[in-house]
């Protein structure tokens, strides 16, 4: 998840700039910018840019949603270990159950930390993509 988020940040702040400048230059160098065909070409260019900006954002959202679930899975495995210790030792001493309890709580915490930080990064990337598309639409003006 974090590798995909890092890749998107790098693309937004490095890769997309050159692509955006190339699109603008291509639009400015067009001979005619006032026909229906020119408007459709402009929309296609903006749509392609939007697709490039939104690449992997859905996958990031899915991974963010899975983080708490994976944390709960870790909790279940830790609790199974606690019950195994209780079954082996009989009454269950606190020392023997402590490792299972820690194995039950740490994955939950890690899943929540990953999900919360991922939500902030994902929301920022979605807003940034939307804003970049809007700026591109404003900069590629039709001649009427």
3-state per-residue secondary structure call for the chain:
CHHHHHHHHHHHHHHHHHHHHHHHHHHHCCCCCCCHHHHHHHHHHHHHHHHHHCCCHHHHHHHHHHHHHHHHHHHHHHHHHHHHHHHHHCCCCHHHHHHHHHHHHHHHHHHHHHHHHHHHHHHHHHHHHHHHHHHHHHHCCCCC
Residue 115 has pLDDT above 80, yes or no: yes
Residue 99 has pLDDT above 90, yes or no: no
Neighbouring C-beta atoms of residue 65, cutoff 10 Å: 13
Per residue in 6-27, pLDDT (tens digit) is: 999 999 999 899 999 999 999 8
Structure tokens at 112: 């929540």
Cα separation, 120 vs 108, whole angstroms: 19
pTM of the predicted model, to two decimals? 0.80
At residue 105, the pLDDT reads 85
Per residue in 28-59, pLDDT (tens digit) is: 888 888 888 889 999 999 999 999 999 999 99
At residue 49, the pLDDT reads 94
Higher pLDDT, 131 or 34: 131
Residue 95 has pLDDT above 80, yes or no: no
Per-residue pLDDT band for 94 (boundaries 50, 70, 90) equals: confident
Give residue limits of the domains in the chain.
Answer: 2-26+34-139
Residue 81 has pLDDT above 90, yes or no: no
Per-residue pLDDT band for 131 (boundaries 50, 70, 90) equals: very high
At residue 91, the pLDDT reads 66
């Amino acid at each position: 998840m974090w590798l995909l988020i890092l890749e998107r940040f790098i693309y937004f702040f490095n890769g997309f700039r050159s692509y955006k400048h190339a699109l603008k230059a291509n639009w400015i160098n067009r001979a005619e910018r006032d026909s229906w065909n020119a408007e459709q070409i402009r929309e296609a260019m903006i749509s392609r840019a939007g697709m490039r900006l939104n690449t992997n954002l859905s996958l990031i959202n899915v991974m963010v949603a899975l983080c708490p679930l994976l944390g709960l899975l870790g909790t279940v495995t830790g609790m199974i270990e606690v019950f195994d210790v209780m079954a082996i030792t009989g009454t269950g001493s606190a020392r023997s159950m402590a490792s299972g309890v820690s194995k039950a709580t740490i994955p939950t915490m890690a899943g929540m930390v990953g999900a919360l930080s991922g939500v902030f990064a994902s929301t920022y990337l979605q807003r940034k993509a939307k804003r970049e598309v809007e700026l591109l639409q404003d900069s590629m003006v039709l001649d009427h």
